[in-house]
A and B are shown apart, each in its own frame.
Chain A
Amino acid sequence: MNIVGVDIGGTFTDLVGHVDGRIVTSKTSTVPSDPTRGIADALRLAGCDPRALDEILHGSTVAINTVLERKGAPTALITTLGFRDVYAIGRSNRIEAFNLFFKRPQPLVPRDRTFEVDERVLAGGGVLTPLDDAAVEALLPALDAAGVKAVAVCLLHAYANPAHERRIGDILRRARPDLFVTLSHEILREYREYERTSTTVLNAYVGPRVGGYLRRLDGFLRDGAFAGQLRIMRSNGGVMSVALAQEQPVSMMESGPVAGMIGAGRLARLMGLPRCVGFDMGGTTAKASLITDGMPAIEAGYVIGDPASGQPMQLPVVDIVEVGAGGGSIAWVDDTGGLHVGPRSAGADPGPACYGKGADDPVVTDANLLLGRINPRRFLNGGMALDTAAAERAMRAKVGDRLGLDATAAAAGVVRIADTSMSLAVRAVSVDKGVDPRDTALIAFGGGGPLHAIAIAREIFVPTVIIPKLPGAFSALGMLMAAWRQDFVQTLIGRIGALAADGVEAVFAELAAAGRAQLARDGIAEGTADFRFLADLRYVGQEHAIPIPVEGVATLTGDAAVVRARFDAEHDRRYGQSAPSETLEVVALRLVLTAARGDTVAEDWLAQPWEAEGEMTVEERAVVFDDPRAPVPSRVHWRPSMPAGTVVTGPAVIEEPSSTILIHPGDRAEVAREGHLIVTLAGNGRG
């Protein structure tokens, strides 16, 4: 079984594979204009012949960047007569309660591209006003005139009866086969029209761009005679087929970041850490997720972008907090002399000034170079020589001169600002949730994670930092551990005890059929899949429901005592009380369909004893830690040559092919049996 994971970030493309019994890796610059070229480079650098691969797993930021940069397709929205403004009105809430200049979500479809059709389905699924085909066809000229490439259709109560949405979909797809059409019930069969509309619009908005990207990628791999499976990471922590990804690109919003957190979870379990924070610093952003008992938390949905002005997305997603600071984040000085880092990023092209591609904006990587923290000759495993003079020029021109600082002092300021900003993400998932960071450890990865993690940990008093093997490509490694997963949901409202068995049976059957169809499409044998059914339950009168595992129709419509006991117990666990005498109500049925990987090669590799290569060499260079005027002579180690049990005390730098680890004065780093680096921070322990 030869498998490869490829993670395309805003700056770098990382590859980790298990090929012919060994781990292969590569790291290369992302080519934003043609990311498939980055994949080609990564495969070539890793020595992978696509013909020999059985499976490629892929994560990409293409979907989320399309939303954040608002570069999606011109999209239209079709909705029920009278409800054109549901999407603009949203929920009318102001999450910035005391802010008189509060922001609200910025729609991706403007009002003049929102169209109403005269039709009406009732809450029970009955039809009040039938849909007239002619009315749909009459919209075509307007859609053409608006130049839309995608259409989102979200009709009232379509979760209960999707017939009208289907009909509109048929008409549009037949008349305009090039349009990317998304029907709300295909994405989410749950009531709440605004959230369903927003999720549907997101899917349509990113659809053409993501679809084009995936087609090019697939075509490129097939041209290289790749005959295996291409699978895409999705926000729920699982993977899906490329065909499904093209239909439901909204489910790959967090495609990039989740895989690293899945990997961090496995590592935490391996090392027996009940609670830790996964910290991933890439070129554009830094991300953090709280991992409890080896699992990152999964949320029922989230807001893409700024919490106040971003876009609600109502699909399961690994809970990750992200800040706009990464290695490529641009440092700049505002009119009042304030120094800022990010959120603008130099990306891969032109990249940092030190890449020597003519960029004149200094970024965090330039600062690290000027502080002696990264080695200009070993960047990307020696694959790219860095231009220190160019970094210095940019730092002086854009930051130093404006603040009256030399380049080194300016660089020290830039790094400090970036560290503070990134520490906010870690705080958000720990301290802000009442978790004492002193009870956690930081698992740091991503190209820049190991370089900054220890300063961030110090800032918020995390006592231990763990740098796994292959930190620079850890997200790609995480992909090799992710299961295939698809979530299905369908609204069904009724009281336990009064539910009609055939109605429940029908919904279960529909969910199971949808699941089986998806398995078949993705070429997964039904026998290897795990069908897990859940019912969203609540006490009659409540609004919020809790998903509770159910084994079949009879557990809801027959003797429901087992399900009842589970619900009461879960309600008590979450909310500190239960009401076993009250009537229960079903709101929706869910199917979580997973198919575990057939192999455990990546997990096995994480746990495998470390074997150092070559003789341990130690060099020395001056590194700026805190005082830019007083660089500290530091020992420089080569991580691949450090045997298990090696202890290094800071000030030190540990270099490896795709990352650099900075050990601050007094901190102690030890190579664990499996090769992971465990850094104990001086003075951050429990006193």
Chain B
Amino acid sequence: MAPHTVDPITVEVVRNAVVAYADEMANVLCKSAYNMMIFEVRDYCCGLIDVRGRMISQNRGGLPIFLADLGVAVEDGVAKWGLEGFAEGDVLVMNHGHVCGQHLNNVVVYAPCFHQGRLIGFAANRAHWVDIGGGRQGFGSNATTEIYSEGLQMRSLKIYRAGEPDDTLFQIIRDNIRYPEASLGDLRAQIASCRMGARRYAELVGRYGLETVEAAVAIVWDQAERAVRAVVERIPDGTYVAESFLDNDGRNLDKPLRVKVTVRVEGSRFTVDFSEMNPQVPSPLNSGRSGGIAAARVAFKALTSPDLDVNEGCFKPLEVVLPEGTMLSARPPAALGQWSIALPTVIDTILKALAPAVPERVPAAHKGDMGGCSFFGFAPDGSRFLLMNIFGGGWGGRPHEDGESAAVSVCQGDVRNTPVELQEIKYPFLIERHALRPDSGGAGARRGGLGIALTYRCLAPCRGNVNFDRTVTPPWGLHGGGAGDISKAVIERADGRVETVFKATDVEFRPGDRITFLTAGGGGYGDPKARDRAALEADVALGLVTAQAAARDYGREAAGLG
């Protein structure tokens, strides 16, 4: 059959419409959600998937690491139920650890989409539930060794069959998670989002015909692929290797984990090889394959096509070599609770490998962790609470400018910190400081950005998790720049004791205790001695670099001396 031709107007309409629908799905989810992981952290993605599990479109502005990975979940459902096994009004839930490769909190919901009785695709979303049961709370816990202790698993289960809710499944969920009202509210938002996406896609197909829409989507993919290949071709061919380390797996604290990547560029082919990645670990610091693929994709996209909408075409030139059993491709029954923790460092390491080949495109290392805290306990009125916040840190110096300060990691995009006022309205804490952290940026001709200092004073007894990394290989500089300062948390007990913490699970806090999170700065770019003196003086005047650090790291001679 001759390829279906589509006029260029229709291609443009389809290209923008399918992304707009995904954005609309995201808006429904975000605006009606019950937990900050969705409405502030935007720890979700929404999209349209074809019957073969390929991503037709994805919303803009969600988490970068959710890159075209909804398809795996849908494919599993298609394999389980068969293409004839779906009815209008079905809604499925899916979070199976080793199919999805992520922690169980990330629950995928999807709904089939029909045109004239024929299955034409799915609308799907994934959102982070505050709790999925199991032995851990919040994020940052390193207490698990197997997936079974991490909560409830649901593998492509129909929670609605032809529009009828499955009360049994609802009850199983309700009885096995800590915040059923919030999570069932989020589930309701996820379902509404999918129904809306499915309806919109059906309308589009109703208007232009399935053949036309699918042909237009294929043209959009081809265009994206061609554009990306052209960029890869301009990267010098070669094999590029880099290595860094994660501090430890959170349980065996003296054993760093190796992050080694090899990148091969041949013409328009770009291969990321994770063969020498650290093996999977007996802690939750593992991901399934989707974690490794996400890391490779984020790095690849940032290098080649940061402006293009996400679709299958963008990643055609990318090949990922990922043998089973590494910490990015863990075998069952590995725990996956901290699936994303390694990813910022993996991405930074891929970029570091490419730095000699494309120095103009690679900044120095960024703070390198996901930068979050969680506290849980009971409020004075007896209700259970869980406070989660995400915060930024420094990014690396760039070829022509300083790194940005206080920004979320490379794995997080339009992810926002939680306003101080909002946290104090909702939770029993007094926040005493939210400030930049002077001297945390790595010295360089282009300075690394600054981390932050955020101090909580506890007003009620509670527990919390601390989960920082990047102390063994701090955010490195490039081309002669210095490393950024490392992240840490300082606990000041009400009785005066002070302790410094990097990774700790279930830390107890009593009223009056304080904890300050100090996030890492970015690495410097280029020799600090070559830093523009006016820029250095401005840093000192603004208090971003202290006079001592300016003398020590930049060789500044203090005015008025001698």
CB contact under 8 A between A577 and B424, given known A82-B433, A92-B392, A92-B407? no
User: Which of B13, B307, B414, B436 is in CB contact (< 8 Å) with A85?
Assistant: B436
Interface locus among B140-148, B184-192, B501-509: B184-192
CB contact under 8 A between A123 and B425, given known A89-B452, A92-B417, A101-B363? yes
User: In whole angstroms, what is the CA distance A94 to B9 when docked?
Assistant: 32
- Residue pair B435, A85 in contact (C-beta under 8 Å): yes
CB contact under 8 A between A192 and B419, given known A98-B64, A100-B306, A111-B543? yes
The contact string, 1 if C-beta is below 8 Å from chain A, for chain B 25-62, is: 00010111111100110000000000000000000110
CB contact under 8 A between A579 and B188, given known A94-B414, A98-B301, A431-B12? yes
CB contact under 8 A between A94 and B413, given known A112-B541, A577-B192? yes
Q: Does A340 contact B (CB under 8 A)?
A: no
Residues of A within 8 A of B (CB): 82-86, 88-104, 110-112, 122-123, 128, 156-157, 159, 191-194, 427, 431-434, 436, 438, 461, 493, 539-544, 571, 574-577, 579, 582
CB contact under 8 A between A436 and B40, given known A85-B436, A576-B192? no
Q: Shortest Cβ distance from A545 into chain B, in angstroms?
A: 9
- Residue pair B407, A104 in contact (C-beta under 8 Å): yes
Interface hub of A99, A539, A574, A576 (most chain B Cβ within 10 A) = A576
User: Which of B39, B361, B436 is in CB contact (< 8 Å) with A544?
Assistant: B39
Query: Which chain B residues border A97 with CB–CB below 8 Å?
Result: 60-61, 64, 413-414
- Residue pair A93, B416 in contact (C-beta under 8 Å): yes
User: In whole angstroms, what is the CA distance A611 to B416 when docked?
Assistant: 58
Interface hub of A94, A111, A571 (most chain B Cβ within 10 A) = A94
Q: Shortest Cβ distance from A103 into chain B, in angstroms?
A: 8
- Residue pair B420, A83 in contact (C-beta under 8 Å): yes
Query: Which chain A residues border B307 with CB–CB below 8 Å?
Result: 98-99
- Residue pair B189, A577 in contact (C-beta under 8 Å): yes
User: Which of A100, A193, A542 is in CB contact (< 8 Å) with B361?
Assistant: A100
A contact patch SS: loop
Q: Does B182 contact A (CB under 8 A)?
A: yes
Q: Does B289 contact A (CB under 8 A)?
A: no
Q: What are some 9 contacts across the A-B interface (CB < 8 A)?
A: A85-B436, A92-B406, A93-B417, A96-B413, A100-B361, A101-B401, A102-B404, A431-B16, A544-B33
- Residue pair A89, B404 in contact (C-beta under 8 Å): no
User: In whole angstroms, what is the CA distance A84 to B424 when docked?
Assistant: 18
Q: Shortest Cβ distance from A417 into chain B, in angstroms?
A: 19
- Residue pair A541, B182 in contact (C-beta under 8 Å): yes
- Residue pair B407, A94 in contact (C-beta under 8 Å): yes
Contacts A102-B407, A431-B17, A582-B181 known; 12 new A-B pairs at CB < 8 A: A82-B434, A85-B452, A88-B436, A89-B405, A89-B452, A92-B391, A100-B361, A100-B362, A103-B404, A112-B543, A544-B31, A579-B185
Interface hub of A97, A104, A579 (most chain B Cβ within 10 A) = A97
Interface hub of B16, B398, B412 (most chain A Cβ within 10 A) = B16
Interface hub of B35, B191, B425 (most chain A Cβ within 10 A) = B425
Query: Which chain A residues border B306 with CB–CB below 8 Å?
Result: 96, 98-100
User: In whole angstroms, what is the CA distance A431 to B9 when docked?
Assistant: 11
User: In whole angstroms, what is the CA distance A100 to B431 when docked?
Assistant: 31
- Residue pair A112, B542 in contact (C-beta under 8 Å): yes
Q: Shortest Cβ distance from A209 into chain B, in angstroms?
A: 25
User: In whole angstroms, what is the CA distance A86 to B40 when docked?
Assistant: 17
User: In whole angstroms, what is the CA distance A191 to B34 when docked?
Assistant: 18
- Residue pair B196, A576 in contact (C-beta under 8 Å): yes
Interface hub of A89, A98, A102, A579 (most chain B Cβ within 10 A) = A98
Query: Which chain A residues border B544 with CB–CB below 8 Å?
Result: 111
Q: Does B324 contact A (CB under 8 A)?
A: no
Q: Does B422 contact A (CB under 8 A)?
A: yes
- Residue pair B363, A493 in contact (C-beta under 8 Å): no
- Residue pair B420, A193 in contact (C-beta under 8 Å): yes
User: Which of B200, B398, B417 is in CB contact (< 8 Å) with A91?
Assistant: B417
Query: Which chain A residues border B404 with CB–CB below 8 Å?
Result: 102-104
User: In whole angstroms, what is the CA distance A86 to B189 when docked?
Assistant: 32
The 5 closest A-B pairs by CB, nearest first: A97-B413, A92-B392, A434-B20, A576-B192, A577-B192
- Residue pair B422, A192 in contact (C-beta under 8 Å): yes
- Residue pair B433, A83 in contact (C-beta under 8 Å): yes
Q: Shortest Cβ distance from B49 into chain A, in angstroms?
A: 18
